[in-house]
Amino acid sequence: MSKLLMKGNEAIARAAMLGGCEAFFGYPITPQNEIPEYLSEAMPAAGKIFLQAESEVASINMVYGAAGAGFRVMTSSSSPGIALMQEGISYIAGAELPCVLVNVMRGGPGLGGIQPSQADYKQITRGGGNGDYRVLSYAPENLQETVDLLKEAFDIADTYRNPVMIAVDGLIGQMMESVDLNRPSPVRPKVSKPWATTGHGRGEQRNIINSLYLDPGELEQHNLSIAEKYKIIKEKEVRYEAYQLEDADYVIVAYGTMARICRSAIEILAESNIKVGMIRPITLWPFPMKAFQSISPKTKGILCAELSLGQMIDDVRIAVEGAFPIAFFGRAGGMMPEPNEIVNAIHHFPKGGDAL
């Protein structure tokens, strides 16, 4: 095992190549520029495709084309750029194409800012594109986890013929941390792509990549078949970390950088004999609903902490089903809380939770 001290975005780029990325299309946007910068040199040197597109709209459609041709393809962007890609993501999901999307999140709405944020939770889990579709999305909390997930991401996308997103807040993209790029990741069976438009098909053999079904009955069948796939993803792919849930006085729900800050807060709270556990979703969709069943009946309340003004909290409420009082703590616009702010939120946990 050899660890390297690396910047997040560079680690993402290198992990994508280790994961088997064969083509990258992207458009510059802060704070993820080190990803295309690294790949613009490394991909052609490895005989792979790199192209800077004229827009995020073009990037995601290049991804559509390359994915449809059977290639392992990726793009990376940040929140407003991901917003521009939503139409393409809907088409990719509709045509059942595999691809990997990296979102290094920044503050919004609109042009917002360039500092770290988690205000894309709804954009990621609800989708800004049209139709009944889902994006299998992961939110790692450190570079090692980011790298490990990226190395698996292409396999997962191929398995389900669905876009997979790795969403990190800008801090993870910009910070330096030690990381082992060669840590073995789970290997899934190699998937063949008989559906790809490789230009070798005619007659019965030809392939069509398509999301258009003018007959409503056929379109419903198509939707039902995709929904069946999402059901399997929900059964098999949910990931989360349950941290010190046993006998916890309070449970925090947080992901990404916010989860790291909450770990420090939990240590501080332990010094004053307040036991706090944490549920850290690693998959944002599917959301780890079942994790909430292991919360102790003694727990007095659940604090949802986000780098936004409250987006994941909707899923927390759905998961909790009214069983515990819920309160929210959030910072927005790229502001990072001190652990003490979360400590205070626990100390002043409102009786019965936040008013709905």
Partner 1 sequence: MSQQFVQGRSKGLTNASFSYCPGCTHGIIHKLVAESLEELGMLGNAIGMASVGCSVMSYNFFDCDMQQTAHGRACAVATGIKRCLPDRIVFSYQGDGDFAAIGIGEGIHAAQRAENITVFFVNNAIYGMTGGQMAPTTLIGQKTTTSPQGRNAARQGLPMKVCEMFATIEGAAYVERVSLHDPRAVMNAKRAIKKALTYQRDGRGFTLVEFLSTCPINWGMTPLDALQWTKTTMAQHYPLGVFADRGGTSNE
Site residues for partner 1 per CB under 8 A: 22-23, 25, 49, 51, 53-55, 57-59, 61-69, 71, 73, 87-88, 91, 95, 197-203, 206-212
Nearer to partner 1, 161 or 280 (CB): 161
Contact 305, 252 (CB under 8 A): yes
Residue closer to partner 1 by CB (options 225, 294) is: 225
Q: Which residues contact 250 (CB under 8 A, 6 or more apart)?
A: 274, 275, 276, 277, 299, 300, 301, 302, 303, 346, 349
Min. distance of Cβ 122 from partner 1 in angstroms? 22
- Exposed, middle or buried: residue 249 (CB in 10 Å: 0-12, 13-18, 19+)? middle
- Shortest reach from residue 83's CB to partner 1, in Å: 16
Give the residue with the Cβ less far from partner 1, 148 or 158. 158
The least CB distance from residue 46 to partner 1, in Å, is 14
Q: How far is the CB of 206 from partner 1 (least distance, A)?
A: 5
Give min distance, CB of 173 to partner 1, in A.
25
H or E stretch covering 274:
none
Determine which helix (DSSP H) or strand (DSSP E) holds 342, and give its type and residue range: helix 339-347
Q: How far is the CB of 192 from partner 1 (least distance, A)?
A: 16
CB of 97 to partner 1, least distance (A): 10
* Residues in the chain, total: 356
CB 196, min distance to partner 1, A: 8
Is the bond into 44 cis (omega within 30 degrees of 0)? no
Q: Nearer to partner 1 by C-beta: 178 or 198?
A: 198
Label residue 333 exposed, middle or buried (CB < 10 Å: 0-12, 13-18, 19+): middle
Integer Cα distance of 159 and 152 in angstroms: 11
In angstroms, the CA 344 to CA 269 distance is: 9
| Joined tokens for residue 284 | 């944002």
State how far the Cα of 354 lies from the Cα of 331, in Å rounded to an integer: 16
Residue 184 or 199 with smaller CB distance to partner 1: 199
The answer to whether the beta carbons of residues 252 and 242 sit under 8 Å apart is: no
* Residue nearer to partner 1 on the CB measure, 102 or 305: 102
CA angle 308, 314, 315 (to 5 degrees): 110
Q: Which is nearer to partner 1, 63 or 252 (CB)?
A: 63
Burial of 224 (0-12, 13-18, 19+ CB in 10 A): exposed
Q: Pick between residue 70 and residue 140 the one whose CB is nearest to partner 1.
A: 70
Do residues 137 and 1 touch, judged by C-beta distance below 8 A? no
